[in-house]
Amino acid sequence: MTPSKALLMTIDSSLDNVSLIGNAVRGILENEPGPGHDIPLVELAVCEAVNNAIIHSYGQKEGFPVEVSLGFDAGRLTVSVADLGRGFETFPETLPRVPDGKDLKDMPIGGWGLRIIGEVMEDVRYSKGSGRNVLVMSRAWA
């Protein structure tokens, strides 16, 4: 089923290009009906997913595609981030939560991307097949 509104963007796997995706996502969401106060959070979640593709999947090597698609349908925003790199060995069934921060010595050093994505988006799924990794994130947007 095709979303009622959709956009596909592709960037080169350079960390310098992540801001292009962030700017595009913010601009699109600012012009679509939805919870405007959550726009920076969604932008952050999408940028974290793109960063993960570039850093972990491609090993920060430039010259590879990262695709980001946004779709709006029936009061829902769906964002997918796809790459052709290494991908996850195993994807967690439940994403780790953001710690409450009461004790800074217990704060994890890494792994914040999936924590942020899990806090911002209501549904997060990962698939790997035919050399393609796809992270699909969705949440209410009306």
By three-state DSSP, how is residue 77 classified? strand
User: Using CA atoms, how far apart are residues 113 and 56, in angstroms rounded to an integer?
Assistant: 11
Which residues pair with residue 65 across a beta bridge?
12
What are the structural domains of the chain?
5-140 (3.30.565.10)
**What is the residue-level pLDDT of the chain in tens, covering all 142 positions?**
566 899 999 999 999 999 999 999 999 999 999 999 999 999 999 999 999 999 999 999 999 999 999 999 999 999 999 999 998 776 667 665 666 666 656 655 556 678 889 989 999 999 999 999 999 999 999 9
- Nearest alpha-carbon partner for 63 in 133, 12, 131: 12
User: Using CA atoms, how far apart are residues 41 and 128, in angstroms rounded to an integer?
Assistant: 26
Q: What angle do CA 136, 87, 125 make, to 5 degrees?
A: 20
